[in-house]
Every structure is written in structure tokens, then in C-alpha cells.
Copies of this chain bind each other. A is one copy, B any other.
Amino acid sequence: MFRKLVSLDEAKRIVKQSLSLKPVGVERVSLSEAHNRVLAEDVVALRDVPPFSRSTVDGFAVRAADTFGADEDRSVALKLCGSIRVGENSSVVVEKGETAEIVTGAPLPQGADAVVMLEYVVQKGKTVLTHRAVSRGENVMEAGSDIHEGAVTLKMGQALSSREVGVLAALGLKQVDVYKRPRVAVISTGAEIVEPGKPLTPGKIYDINAHTLSAAVKECDGEPVSWGIVLDEASRLKATLKEALDSADVVVTSGGVSVGPTDVVPQVINALGEPGVIVSGIAVKPGKPTTIAIVNGKPVFSLPGHPTSALLIFHLLVRPLILSMAGRQEETPVLVKATASAKMFPARGRRTFIMVSLTREKSGGLFASPVGLGLSGAITTLAEADGFVEVEESRQFINAGEEVTVRLFKPVRVVSWRK
């Protein structure tokens, strides 16, 4: 039933193989809620944008051929036949030798095929003298020139920034199908933890993980559902896990997975459904006492109680899963090269992650310094760290002065290069 300690790479492989990385579902949201969501459909233009040919300037709509020969010294006289305002369904028709006054954004009248800008024209009553020749289409934005009817304008899987929201608006869409955000149940276990704000009796500490993990879930487009603190007591824990599994897509617990006598999480999980625990312990530091389970197709990650360990394992294993389930593309971690400012000792035989802060020296060099006393229980470790150095299982140590690669804590996709 239990597997032995697996390597981090093996754990990642097992997660990928055993779990569905597909989006959890689709929901329809209004345009005003679409920002920052991920499209679950290709968006096909149901009409041309713009829907009609528009003037891009204030001036006079003309037949381009009528203006040939006009220049600064020589004007061409046209007969004013009307005026077109924006937003109006005008019946004006520009015949040969005629022109109609037009403003920016107004529909080009029938017969006209170009617009002469206001500043090149002198108007004398019903006579308009143009001092400029224009070519067909000049100062006109043709119907459909921005988006053609029938074109796939945005693609399934695209994240909607302000700019894509603009495209949806241009197409007249009031609603759009986006991927649902995976619901992630967050459960803290442990007899010693107390909800912040409540009095702290001797021997107790405040619950950190429920709050860091809920925030971390938001940071990867999940929707955290807090189940609060559950005692390490089998029946209570079982009931909570069952409810959480019923209502959430992913369950994340923290605490209660080390070797102590009160660590009942794995046993309870195995009793809930098949296949139960699939990874029990990972050869990683910090974060060794991590278990991964699947109960009726849903993943349960039981993370260590120490905040740094819990958040690190979340970043390495849970975050990529939630991003996939939210329909997001795999992210490229942001890596920077820096010089180790002190000797670093990884744990032998385990993939070691050393939290570091980055310092830019006056010389311009970038230095990575380990933070947090090496204690994975220290919360300041998290707050002070800019990222972490990943050390291979086989390394004995990293020397001061050696170049290291730091993975920044906030992996951001700076830009998606086109192929």
C-alpha cells in the first residue's frame, strides 16, 4: 500500500501519471468578470469589426478620383451634399463631384471611398475646395479590416488581460465561456495550532499554513475553501476529509504527517477510498514527510506542518497541478544566476532546497544568502526569501563564491514568445 521514500522527480512523475491535469470545468461569465480568466472556447467573430467603413479623421468624404490633381497651389471644387455624424444611419449618397462633411468614427457615406482631412479644405457655403488629393481608402478604416466575420479571434486557453477583454467587447460579447477555478480544500491538522485572533494558551501556536496555503492557492488561480483546524483525531479528520473530497477538486492538508504517534492523516486517507496513499515520503529537504493520495480520482496532498516545508512542496507539486486544472499553461520558472555568499550544506541523498535572499552589491554582482537559520519551522524564512537554490541529491556542499541558480518565489511569465 505504502511506497517507500521516492525521489522528487519520481513524485512529480507519479502526480502527472496518476492525476488528470485537465481543466476541472467550464463556466459562463459576464464580460466584466472575464478579466484574468482563461478562455474555454475559441472566439469566432460573428460580424465584421468595424461593422462598417468608418472615417478615421474629421474632414470631407469624397470619391478619391474626384480629388486627383489637387495640391497646395491648386484646389478641386466639390459640391457639399450632406453631413454625416457618428452613430447615425445616414442616407447621404456622395455622387461624382460631390462631398459630405464627416467626423471621426462616422460611417463613410455611400459613393465615397476616401476622406480628405479638414485642414486641407476650404469651405465656401455649399462649395468645398480641397487642396489635397487622396487615394482610395485614405483615412478610412474599412469594414472588417480589424476583424473579419468568421475569423477565430481569440483561442481556447488564452488568458484574458485588459487587451483580450477589449477584443471580446469589440465583438459585442456580453458573456464568455472560461475555465472554472479548481476548488482547493485547505485543512490544517494538529493539536497545537490555534486560529489567529484567538487566545494562545501554553503549548499552542497560531495556524500559519491554512493562511499561506490559501493565499498560495489564489496565486495559481485556484479557489481556496478553508476547512479550518481539525484535530489529529481519526473520526473527526475522516469526516472532514470526506466532506472536503465531496465538495473540492483538490484537498491540501498540512501537519500530522511526520512519524509521531498522533499522525493519523495517511491511515484515515487510506480508509476513505482507492487507491489511497500513492507517495509516502519524498527524498527532499525540507518536506520529506509529504504524502500524496488519490481518493476516488481526487488528489489529497498532505504537507508537513512546518510552514516553509509546506509552501515549498506546494510550489513544487501542487501549484503546477492547480494551474493545469485551471486551464493555465505550464509556467516557466524565473531563474537568476547569483553568487553563493556562504557555504551551503544540502542533505545527502535528498534533493535540497535552500531558501535564499538576493542582494545586489555595489559592484553590480548578485549574491544569494541562505536565510532563516536553516529552520524550516521559521516563518521569517519565508518572508525573507526571494527564492530558493535547488541542490542535486549527489552534491556534498556548495562553496561560498560558487555560482548558483536561484528560482524566484514568484514565477512570472514575463512574455510568451511566439513560435
Interface positions of A (Cβ within 8 A of B):
31-32, 35-36, 47, 49-52, 54, 56, 58, 85-90, 103-107, 118, 141, 145-147, 153-154, 160-175, 190-194, 196-198, 200-216, 218-219, 226, 258-262, 305, 307, 311, 334, 336, 357-360, 366, 373, 375, 377-380, 382-383, 385-387, 408-410, 412, 414-415, 417-419
Given A104-B258, A170-B206, A171-B206, 11 more pairs with CB closer than 8 A = A49-B379, A51-B200, A86-B192, A107-B203, A145-B375, A161-B219, A163-B385, A165-B215, A166-B307, A167-B382, A334-B414
17 A-B pairs with CB atoms under 8 Å apart are A32-B226, A49-B379, A50-B377, A52-B203, A87-B204, A89-B203, A105-B205, A107-B203, A141-B377, A145-B373, A146-B379, A153-B383, A166-B208, A169-B208, A172-B196, A172-B206, A360-B419
Contact B192 A31 (CB under 8 A): no
Cα-based distance from A90 to B209 in the complex (angstroms): 25
Q: A412 — which chain B residues lie within 8 A by C-beta?
A: 412, 414
Contact B58 A193 (CB under 8 A): no
Question: Which of B86, B88, B201 is A190 in contact with, Cβ under 8 Å?
Answer: B86
Q: A214 — which chain B residues lie within 8 A by C-beta?
A: 32, 35
Cα-based distance from A412 to B413 in the complex (angstroms): 9
Contact B380 A146 (CB under 8 A): yes
Contact A378 B146 (CB under 8 A): yes
Say how far A336's CB is from chain B's closest CB, in angstroms. 7
Say how far A161's CB is from chain B's closest CB, in angstroms. 7
The chain B residue sitting closest to A88, CB to CB, is B203
Q: A212 — which chain B residues lie within 8 A by C-beta?
A: 162-163, 165-166, 169
Contact A35 B215 (CB under 8 A): yes
Contact A162 B196 (CB under 8 A): no
**Total copies of the chain:** 2
Cα-based distance from A212 to B192 in the complex (angstroms): 48
The chain B residue sitting closest to A49, CB to CB, is B379
Q: A154 — which chain B residues lie within 8 A by C-beta?
A: 383
Question: Which of B89, B170, B382 is A379 in contact with, Cβ under 8 Å?
Answer: B170
Cα-based distance from A109 to B51 in the complex (angstroms): 79
Question: Which of B50, B415, B419 is A386 in contact with, Cβ under 8 Å?
Answer: B415
Contact A262 B85 (CB under 8 A): yes
Say how far A257's CB is from chain B's closest CB, in angstroms. 11
Say how far A276's CB is from chain B's closest CB, in angstroms. 24
Contact A383 B162 (CB under 8 A): no
Cα-based distance from A146 to B208 in the complex (angstroms): 13
Contact A336 B105 (CB under 8 A): no
Contact A218 B373 (CB under 8 A): no
Cα-based distance from A212 to B211 in the complex (angstroms): 32
Contact B32 A85 (CB under 8 A): no
Cα-based distance from A276 to B208 in the complex (angstroms): 50
The chain B residue sitting closest to A304, CB to CB, is B104
The chain B residue sitting closest to A162, CB to CB, is B215
The chain B residue sitting closest to A30, CB to CB, is B197
Q: A378-B145, A414-B334 are in contact. Are A170 and B262 (CB under 8 A)?
A: no
Q: A207 — which chain B residues lie within 8 A by C-beta?
A: 169
Say how far A142's CB is from chain B's closest CB, in angstroms. 10
Q: A160 — which chain B residues lie within 8 A by C-beta?
A: 215
Cα-based distance from A412 to B334 in the complex (angstroms): 12
Q: A259 — which chain B residues lie within 8 A by C-beta?
A: 58, 118
Q: A106 — which chain B residues lie within 8 A by C-beta?
A: 192, 203
Cα-based distance from A203 to B145 in the complex (angstroms): 16
Q: A165 — which chain B residues lie within 8 A by C-beta?
A: 211-212, 215
